[in-house]
């Protein structure tokens, strides 16, 4: 009798845990903006990285505990807009664009717009499905790339490159590139799954250990170049496949391709989130 009484409570706690990770993700996103407003750009950048780690953990916890829900998915997307859209854009504005001209803030707007479109498309096309890649640059990767620029400015490597790299001209183009890649159809691989049972798992474990090792050893120097490398990887892959494969063989590798939601995608979305019960059907929505 006692066991039956406490089992629902345990289940309820397990369901809440992924949402707690998500809410702490939001906490670090807000804290990053508070520090950016105070001029503490170094700390603000790292708080966005902490938000990214929590964003990765909430999904893993939900999958392992089999407690994923539509509420959790929607909450995660809303939080991600803040932590990886608004917070990095605000950090870039306070640290760079505030003194770059009266209209420079428009770069921040387009970046946040790209994050919102990226998350909306992910919810419709890929949320709730088994996947080995992302279509479009993930918004946490984009946000952390911008955020880790500020720790990178504290390094000797940055000072050595200052004379060769015109950062004042490159940062706006970096934000534009991140925005385009988020709404593109370029494929980006997920973090490899670590394991000891097969070669792929061992390779994934090696990659994760290398990232963890370099991240602990040289965090300021490591993460910003890693973000640039991941961003460039998808573009390089799309270009190489464009030359090697015949037209139409890898349509998802088209940069800035059209975003289409077919019937199969809609059925997948309905299966993951529940069928539409209210509102107008997609073909009758007001334009």
CATH at residue 252? 1.20.120.1760
d(CA 270, CA 208): 34
Q: What is residue 203's predicted lDDT score, i.e. its pLDDT?
A: 78
| Mean per-residue pLDDT, 27-40 | 96
> Could you tell me if 268 and 129 are in contact, meaning their C-beta atoms sit under 8 angstroms apart?
yes
**pLDDT band per the 50, 70, 90 thresholds, residue 94:** very high
**What does the pLDDT read at residue 230?**
93
| pLDDT confidence tier of residue 128, bands split at 50, 70 and 90 | low
**What is the band of 256 on the pLDDT scale with cuts at 50, 70, 90?**
very low
Has residue 23 been placed in a domain? yes
| Confidence grade of residue 277 (pLDDT, cut at 50, 70, 90) | very low
- Total domains in the chain come to 1
Q: Is residue 114 part of a domain?
A: yes
Residue bearing tokens 């975003």: 259
* Domain span including residue 152: 9-259
Query: pTM for the whole thing?
Result: 0.79
HSE toward the beta carbon, residue 267, CA cutoff 13 A: 3
Average pLDDT over residues 200-211: 80
Q: Is 221 or 196 the better-scoring residue by pLDDT?
A: 221
Residue at 130 is within a domain = yes
273 inside domain:
no
Examine residue 225 and state whether it is found in any structural domain, yes or no. yes
Each residue's pLDDT tens digit, 48-59: 999 999 988 876
What mean pLDDT value characterizes the chain?
Answer: 79
Closest CA to 113 of 47, 30, 28, 180: 180
pLDDT at res. 221: 92
Q: Enter the tokens of residue 89.
A: 């854009």
pLDDT higher than 90, residue 148 = yes
Return the percentage of the chain with pLDDT > 90, whole number: 38
In-domain check, residue 64: yes
Taking residues 141-167, report their average pLDDT.
Answer: 88
pLDDT at 240 over 60: yes
Cβ-based neighbours of 146, under 8 Å, separated by 6 or more: 48, 88, 89, 91, 92, 111, 174, 175, 178
- 265 belongs to a structural domain: no
């Amino acid at each position: 009798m006692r066991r039956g009484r406490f089992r629902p409570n345990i289940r309820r706690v397990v369901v809440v845990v992924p949402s707690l990770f998500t809410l702490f993700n939001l906490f670090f996103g807000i804290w990053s903006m508070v520090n950016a407003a105070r001029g503490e750009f170094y700390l603000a950048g790292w708080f966005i990285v902490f938000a990214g780690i929590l964003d990765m953990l909430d999904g893993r916890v939900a999958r392992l505990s089999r407690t994923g829900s539509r509420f959790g998915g929607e909450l995660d997307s809303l939080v991600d807009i803040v932590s990886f859209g608004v917070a990095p854009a605000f950090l870039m504005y306070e640290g760079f664009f505030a003194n770059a001209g009266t209209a420079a803030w428009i770069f921040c707007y387009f970046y946040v717009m790209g994050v919102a479109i990226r998350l909306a498309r992910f919810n419709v096309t890929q949320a709730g499905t088994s996947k080995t890649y992302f279509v479009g640059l993930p918004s946490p990767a984009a946000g952390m790339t911008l955020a880790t620029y500020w720790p990178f400015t504290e390094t000797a490597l940055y000072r050595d490159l200052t004379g060769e790299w015109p950062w004042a001209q490159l940062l706006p183009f970096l934000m534009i590139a991140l925005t385009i890649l988020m709404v593109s159809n370029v494929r980006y691989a997920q973090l490899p799954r670590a394991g000891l049972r097969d070669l792929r798992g061992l390779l994934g474990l090696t990659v994760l250990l290398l990232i963890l090792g370099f991240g602990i050893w040289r965090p300021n120097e490591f993460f910003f170049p890693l973000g640039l490398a991941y961003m460039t990887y998808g573009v390089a892959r799309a270009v190489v496949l464009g030359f090697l494969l015949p037209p139409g063989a890898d349509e998802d590798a088209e940069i800035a391709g059209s975003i289409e939601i077919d019937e199969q995608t809609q059925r997948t979305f309905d299966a993951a989130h529940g069928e539409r019960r209210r509102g107008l059907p997609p073909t009758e929505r007001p334009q």
